[in-house]
Amino acid sequence: MADVLERARRSAPVRDAREALEPLLDELMRSLGFERAAVLLYDDDRAALAGGFGVGVPDAIVRELVIPFALPDDPIVAVLRGGLAARIRDATTDERISPATREILARASLGPVVAAPLRSTTDLRATGQDGKSGAATPGWEHHGQWAGVVLLSRAAGVTQSDVDALVPFARQAEEALSLQRDVEVLRETSEAHAIEKEWLWWMVNGVGDAVLVTDSNNDMVLQNRRAELLFRASDEDSAGKRRAVWMNNFLFTAALSTWNLERAGATTSREVTLVDPIEGDELIYEVITTPATNFRVGMRGTVSVLKNVTDIRHIGEELARGRQRLQSAEEEIRIERDRLDLVLRNVPNPIIVVDNDNHIMSMNPAAERLFKPASATARASHTALANDARFTSFLAGLRLDPAMSKRGEIALADPRSDDRLEMEVSATEIRDARGAVMAIVSVMQDIGRLRELERRRLEQVLFDSEKLAATGRLAASIAHEINNPLEAVQNALYLLQKELGAEANNRQYLDIASRETQRMSRILRQMLGFYRQQEAMAETDLNALVEEAGGLVAKRLRERGVQIANQLDPVLPRIRASADQLKQVLLNLLLNAADSMPKGGTITVATQAGAGAETEVFGRDAVQIQVRDTGAGIPDELIAQIFEPFFSTKPGKGTGLGLWVSQGIVQSHGGTMRVRSRVGRGTTFMITLPVQGPQSDVRAV
């Protein structure tokens, strides 16, 4: 912009001077009889009087004239300095004028001349610019003081009266120049303003943000294109857009007025939510407001710049949510890890994790006691080292096994006591996503202790069996002794009942005697059934036995609304057992089950190969029989007593020997009998029997 103005400034003086002076000069020359004139103007840049234009003299020659202002003797310069017109008898020969200038004056035929000063007194600052901003364009200040000299010549020569005649001209010229200058300055100023305004327009609209100016009533005075998109609508726009624009004006004005209340006058930054007039979405704007004063009209207002921060806010919120999610995930992981840590710390089994090169990655405290004892005496650390070596070679051996999960036994020593530890190790490979082994987790179990428990249990079983066998033998011999006379009594009673008939006197006493002898014989039968010679042991098909026992009672049970459902394992191995005794056990269980279901129900008898939950006890092959009913169940407080002899909840009807005898039979086969019951739901009896029959050392006889 400065360039444009500068160019305007440079060409202005000559043009303006000619416009202002030419009519005056013409008239002057005509009235005073001058033939030629040349106008020289003071050129600030060159510090010289420079030729401007000529009348009766070609401009080209006039413009060659440059008379430095520094020449003190030059009469033309003296005219300008002194402000008084002067006569030069012959300028082409006057010694005070430089030869170069004289030569030009000669070519211009300016010999005898009258030189008159030209001055404009107009002060630019008083007209074109306001007091404040004028300082920003210092070059303009000289414009107000135009100065120059006009040379008027007549071939016939000039006189003092010519000089006097020029006095009014000088004043007239001054006025003309000033007037012209004023017009010119105004023109230039408004031109410069227009140019400046053009640039300002580009500047304001080039901004990507909405910019607007509001007055002290918060009414919008000016807005740039961006702001217009938000705040201005015409009648051609859709109703939606007009509503949005109305909303925006309302929201923004409301926001401005609330902010104004608190504002301290400085630049502030707030947020306001507006509506996108095109899309209808919510837009969040950061509003930077700056108070402004228009000195020209003395009004206060506000400049607001609205930055669209919707995306930034959304990204920010998304980031915050992401961080929140990460934090809670991290927290969960930490809790999970702590929990896992707690579990590992408290598991009594030693657990060791090794990497693919068998380097220990981590171990729990139980494992540390074996491999890294805290109180490491020389002896203890030696034992620990030996453990480590054994475990490593054990793992190396396991690696040859292709299975993912492997089991094996290893003998270690307790570093504290040097006690021998028989450990069963379950090693499981942990693989990464590509199937490569990352680690092996080994869990150890002290099976030495388990074996010891099992040994003690077997001792107890043996002891119990022997006691049982002794009791059994005694009971059986008593039963045998009583059985024969009892049969004789029963026969006698039978004959008597027949002979006396149903109506006989005191017949009821006979019936009581008969019933009680029957009961006695039932007891004896149970006892005798229990004590059978072990010679009766043979390969027995349990499934067939189950069906046979069921068949024996099926009719009786059906009458009571009880069904039997068998679930028999088709590949059940035959076992060595006494078929008669086991049949008695099954019958006892079936009848008990039926008794528990007075309103009917279902008895399920299932057979299964394997020892089930009792694998620990039956290291060898075993089979299982389950008898389940849907009956009344057994209360917890009675469970402990049901296997006792003569315990019965069926007064007058039960002997209370059924379960006692049955358990005795099962134990004499080397098996176990357990019960599980829930009142109101039903009862399950579980019998586990070894396939090989009783071991010789626990044989009951």
Enumerate binding residues for Mg ion (CB under 5 A). Answer: 592, 658
In the chain, DSSP finds a helix count (H) and a strand count (E) of: 17, 23
- Bridge partners (DSSP) of residue 274 are 283
Among all chains, which residue has been given the structure tokens 């004139």? 37
- Contact letters (x/-) for ligand ATP, 227-246, by CB under 6 A? --------------------
Judged by beta carbon, residue 246 or residue 647, the one nearer ligand ATP is 647
- H-only helix segments in 531-631: 542-559, 579-595
Residue length of the chain: 701
Residue 304's H or E segment, with its range, is strand 299-308
Q: How far is the CB of 588 from Mg ion (least distance, A)?
A: 5
Q: Do residues 53 and 18 make contact, with C-beta atoms less than 8 angstroms apart?
A: yes
Cβ proximity to Mg ion, 154 vs 628, nearer residue? 628
632 binds, among Mg ion, ligand ATP, none (CB under 5 to 8 A by kind): ligand ATP
Which residues face 303 on adjacent strands?
213, 290
- Region of 144 (left: φ > 0; alpha: ψ -120 to 50; beta: rest) is alpha
State the residue for tokens 């088709």: 570
CA 431 to chain centre: 28
667 binds, among ligand ATP, Mg ion, none (CB under 5 to 8 A by kind): none
Site track 377-416 with ligand ATP (rule: CB under 6 A), x = hit: ----------------------------------------
Minimum CB separation of residue 628 from Mg ion in Å reads: 16
CA atoms within 13 A on the CB side of 486: 18
Q: Which of 104, 395, 593, 698 binds ligand ATP (CB under 6 A)?
A: 593
Please name every residue paired with 147 in a beta bridge, in sequence order, or none if there are none: 119
Residue closer to ligand ATP by CB (options 425, 594) is: 594
Report residue 171: phi and psi, to 5°.
-70, -40
User: 34 with 153: CB under 8 angstroms?
Assistant: yes
List 351's β-bridge partners, or say none.
443
Q: In this complex, which beta carbon is closest to Mg ion, that of residue 277 or of residue 631? A: 631
Q: Which is nearer to ligand ATP, 212 or 586 (CB)?
A: 586
Least spacing, CB of residue 556 vs ligand ATP, in Å: 13
Q: Which does 647 bind (CB under 5 to 8 A by kind): ligand ATP, Mg ion, none?
A: ligand ATP
Distance between first and last Cα of the chain? 129
Q: Using the 8-state DSSP alphabet, how is residue 170 labeled? A: H
Strand partners, 162: none
Classified as helix, coil or strand, 380 is helix
Residue tagged 């979405």 (tokens): 281
User: Which H or E run contains 289?
Assistant: strand 282-294
Q: Is 207 helix (H, G, I), strand (E, B) or coil?
A: coil
Q: How far is the CB of 591 from ligand ATP (least distance, A)?
A: 6
Task: Write down the residue that tokens 């930077």 correspond to.
Answer: 288
Rounded to whole angstroms, the Cα distance separating 340 from 452 reads 31
Residue number with CB closer to ligand ATP (503 or 637): 637
| Smallest gap from residue 357 Cβ to ligand ATP (A) | 60
In single-letter form, the type of residue at position 451 comes to: R
Provide the strand spans (E) within 75-187: 86-88, 113-119, 147-153
For residue 115, list its beta bridge partners: 86, 151
Candidate segments 46-54, 62-70, 297-305, 630-638, binder of ligand ATP by CB under 6 A: 630-638
Measured from the CB of residue 655, what is the shortest distance to Mg ion in angstroms?
Answer: 8
Residue 281: count other Cβ atoms within 10 Å of its Cβ.
10
Residue among 255 and 634 whose Cβ is closer to ligand ATP:
634
Q: Which residues in the 639-698 window bind ligand ATP by CB under 6 A?
A: 642, 647-650, 654-660, 683
Question: Of these, 427, 634, 673, 689, which contacts ligand ATP (CB under 6 A)?
Answer: 634
> What is the maximum alpha-carbon separation in the chain?
203
* Nearest distance in Å: CB 555, ligand ATP: 18
Indicate the residue among 658 and 682 with the shorter CB distance to Mg ion: 658
| Residue (346 or 518) nearer to ligand ATP, CB | 518
Residue 21 near which of ligand ATP, Mg ion, none (CB within 5-8 Å, type-dependent): none
In the complex, what is the shortest distance from the CB of residue 659 to ligand ATP, in angstroms, rounded to a whole number?
3
- Minimum Å distance from CB 609 to ligand ATP? 25
Total binding residues toward ligand ATP, as defined by CB under 6 A: 21
Measured between alpha carbons, how far is 384 from 662 in angstroms, rounded to an integer? 52
634 binds, among ligand ATP, Mg ion, none (CB under 5 to 8 A by kind): ligand ATP
Q: Any contact of residue 631 with ligand ATP (CB under 6 A)?
A: yes
State in angstroms the smallest separation of the CB of 487 from ligand ATP. 20
Closest residue (Cβ) to Mg ion? Answer: 658
Our finding on whether 605 is near ligand ATP (CB under 6 A) is: no
Amino acid in position 255: A
Q: Which stretch binds ligand ATP (CB under 6 A): 14-22, 95-103, 292-300, 587-595?
A: 587-595
Q: From the list ligand ATP, Mg ion, none, pick the one residue 211 interacts with, judged by a Cβ distance below 5 to 8 Å according to partner type.
A: none
By the rule CB under 6 A, 69 interacts with ligand ATP: no
CA of residue 551 relative to chain centroid, distance:
69
Residue 367 to residue 391: CA distance in whole angstroms: 11
Which residue has tokens 């923004």?
A: 252
For ligand ATP, the closer of residues 228 and 464 by Cβ is 464
Is 383:418 a contact under the CB 8 Å cutoff?
Answer: yes
Q: Are 470 and 519 in contact (CB under 8 A)?
A: no
Q: Do 90 and 114 meet the contact criterion of CB atoms below 8 Å apart?
A: no
Rounded least distance, CB 457 to ligand ATP, Å: 24
Residue 371 interface partner, choices ligand ATP, Mg ion, none, CB cut-off 5-8 Å depending on type: none
657 binds, among ligand ATP, Mg ion, none (CB under 5 to 8 A by kind): ligand ATP
Strands 113-119 and 537-540: unpaired
d(CA 312, CA 314): 5
Applying the rule CB under 6 A, the residues between 162 and 221 that interact with ligand ATP are none
Tokens of 86: 């002067």
Q: Figure out which of the listed residues 632, 665, 673, 698 binds ligand ATP, where binding follows CB under 6 A.
A: 632
Which member of 540, 543, 592, 663 binds ligand ATP (CB under 6 A)?
592
Q: Does the footprint of ligand ATP cover residue 596 (CB under 6 A)?
A: yes
Q: Least CB distance from residue 480 to Mg ion, whole Å?
A: 23
Return the residue matching tokens 């490569």.
436
Q: Which of 122, 153, 588, 624 binds ligand ATP (CB under 6 A)?
A: 588
CB of 612 to ligand ATP, least distance (A): 20
The binder of 590, among Mg ion, ligand ATP, none, by C-beta within 5 to 8 A per type, is: none
Stretch that binds ligand ATP, among 220-228, 351-359, 528-536, 588-596 (CB under 6 A): 588-596
Partner that binds at residue 49, options Mg ion, ligand ATP, none, CB closer than 5 to 8 Å by kind: none
Residue 269: φ, ψ to 5°: -135, 125
Query: Which residues contact ligand ATP by CB under 6 A?
Result: 588, 592-593, 596, 629, 631-632, 634, 642, 647-650, 654-660, 683
